[in-house]
């Protein structure tokens, strides 16, 4: 099969289309997905650069989400699933014509969305659901602050937050991006390059602050985020684009009774991801089936142009999801 590989870590230019990669075989509890589209995510770029190795046993091929057709099943998987169109949270391997995936990490593609849109859902949907609603304990009527409001994660957080009764404030790096976030459904969007977001959040909330911060920046943002939180607020970190270390005032944490948490999804067990997928199927997938939640799409690149897709991701100009087209005829 064809797949994207790289001989050594580096910039986007190291990515190349390889022609004779062995097709993976589905093991017990797995399905083999013929991939139509694969989502591009920031962790893919970090792995390509040599800073995010695949977990033990995972495919070294890039790609954490895909959509396509089930063409083979492993032991313990119902053969009746052959021919199903599904999207999947993958352990790796999505930048390829075929990808082996635990069966419990798949969701059916509804008529309301295309396969390209379906491929843009799993990584952001699983991440936002776990971190906003499970770890962040978001509840109806609360206020959520999201950094990176026009990223794939950011746009998904807006849509899910609004669907479940949250007031959503986002930050973004230009007025164009702020307007895009408002179109997706954000109640307020702050241009962090021209405005102090801490002051802006205070003004928006009448000085009360927000209940929850979803943070992808870390670094010096953390201390500023804590100032935005109201007493009893929760701070959830899902990426460290601004640096892995933060200096915070623990007296503020104690006096406001704050909760600081975070997570990374990829290293979690297959059983955990399957349980997360089951909860999403039960609690949120109907929103996708009804068309109320669908990914904001930025650009679709052919598989052979994966380097261009990574270049666009790292430039930070995208709004929504970047996707690779692998077999558009499915």
Q: Give the tens place of pLDDT for each residue, 32-52.
A: 999 999 999 999 999 999 999
**Arithmetic mean of pLDDT, 300-321:** 97
Q: What Rg value do the Cα atoms of the chain yield, rounded?
A: 20
pLDDT at 145: 98
pLDDT at site 328: 82
Extract long-range pairs of 217-220: CB within 8 Å, 24+ residues apart.
217/147, 217/148, 217/241, 217/242, 218/242, 218/243, 218/244, 218/246, 219/243, 219/244, 219/245, 219/246, 220/246, 220/247
Which residues does residue 30 pair with via DSSP β-bridges, in sequence order?
A: 102
d(CA 271, CA 10): 33
Angle between helices 152-163 and 175-184 (to 10 degrees): 40
Total residues found in the chain within this entry: 330
Q: In terms of Cα–Cα distance, which of 104, 159, 92 is closest to 132? A: 159
Mean pLDDT for the stretch of residues 263-276: 95
Reference 288, options 151, 126, 111; nearest CA is: 111
Q: State the pLDDT confidence band at 330, using cuts at 50, 70 and 90.
A: confident
Q: Which CATH number fits domain 125-262: 3.30.70.260, 1.20.1300.10, 3.40.50.720, 3.60.15.10?
A: 3.40.50.720
What CA–CA distance (Å, rounded) separates 235 from 226?
7
pLDDT (0 to 100) of residue 329: 81
Residue pLDDT, tens place only, 76-124: 999 999 999 999 999 999 999 999 999 999 999 999 999 999 999 999 9
**Residue linked to tokens 């004779």:** 20
Percentage of residues in the chain having pLDDT higher than 90: 97
Backbone angles phi and psi of 14, in degrees to 5: -75, -15
Scanning the structure block, which residue is given the tokens 């057709």?
69
- What is the topology classification, in CATH, of domain 3-121+266-325? Quinone Oxidoreductase; Chain A, domain 1 (3.90.180)
Q: What are phi and psi of 78, to 5 degrees?
A: -60, 120
Mean pLDDT of the region 292-301: 96
Question: What are the boundaries of each domain within the chain?
Answer: 3-121+266-325, 125-262
pLDDT score recorded for residue 100 = 98
Fold agreement between 3-121+266-325 and 125-262: no
Instruction: Enter the tokens of residue 98.
Output: 């075929």
Contact 152, 320 (CB under 8 A): yes
The span from the CA of 126 to the CA of 128, in Å, is 6
The DSSP H or E segment spanning 5 is: strand 3-5
Determine the Cα–Cα distance for residues 65 and 95; give it in Å rounded to an integer.
9
Rounded-to-integer distance, Cα 14 and Cα 43, Å: 16
| Cβ atoms within 10 Å, residue 304 | 15
pTM of the model: 0.95
Over 90: is that where the pLDDT of 127 sits? yes
Mean pLDDT of the residues in the chain = 97
Backbone angles phi, psi at 306, to 5 degrees: -60, -35
pLDDT at residue number 268: 94
Could you tell me where the beta strands, DSSP code E, fall in 60-124? 65-73, 85-89, 98-102, 106-108
pLDDT of residue 85: 98
């Amino acid at each position: 099969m064809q797949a994207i590989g790289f001989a050594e870590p580096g910039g986007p230019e190291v990515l190349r289309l390889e022609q004779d990669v062995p097709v993976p075989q589905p093991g017990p509890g797995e399905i083999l997905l013929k991939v139509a589209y694969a989502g591009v995510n920031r962790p893919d770029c970090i792995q390509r650069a040599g800073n995010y190795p695949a977990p033990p046993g995972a495919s070294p091929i890039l790609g954490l989400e895909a959509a396509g057709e089930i063409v083979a099943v492993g032991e313990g998987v119902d053969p009746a699933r052959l021919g199903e169109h599904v999207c999947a949270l993958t352990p790796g391997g999505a930048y390829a014509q075929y990808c082996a995936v635990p069966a419990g990490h798949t969701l059916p593609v509804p008529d309301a969305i295309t396969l390209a849109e379906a491929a843009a859902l799993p990584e952001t949907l699983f991440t936002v659901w776990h971190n906003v609603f499970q770890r962040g304990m978001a509840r109806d009527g609360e206020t959520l602050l999201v950094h990176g409001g026009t990223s794939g994660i950011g746009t998904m957080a807006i849509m899910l937050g609004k669907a479940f009764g949250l007031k959503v404030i986002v930050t973004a790096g230009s007025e164009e991006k702020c307007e895009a976030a408002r179109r997706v459904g954000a109640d307020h969007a702050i241009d962090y390059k021209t405005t102090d977001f801490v002051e802006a959040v205070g003004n928006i909330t009448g000085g009360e602050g927000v209940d929850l911060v979803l943070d992808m920046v870390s670094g010096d943002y953390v201390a500023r985020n804590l100032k935005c939180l109201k007493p009893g607020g929760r701070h959830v970190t899902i990426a460290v684009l601004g640096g892995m270390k933060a200096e915070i005032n623990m007296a503020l944490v104690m006096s406001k009774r704050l909760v600081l948490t975070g997570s990374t999804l990829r290293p979690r067990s297959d059983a955990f991801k399957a349980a997360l997928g089951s909860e999403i199927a039960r609690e949120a997938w109907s929103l996708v089936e009804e068309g109320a939640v669908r990914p904001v799409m930025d650009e679709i690149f052919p598989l052979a142009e994966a380097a261009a897709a990574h270049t666009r991701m790292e430039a930070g100009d995208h709004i929504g999801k970047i996707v690779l087209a692998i077999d558009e005829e499915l």
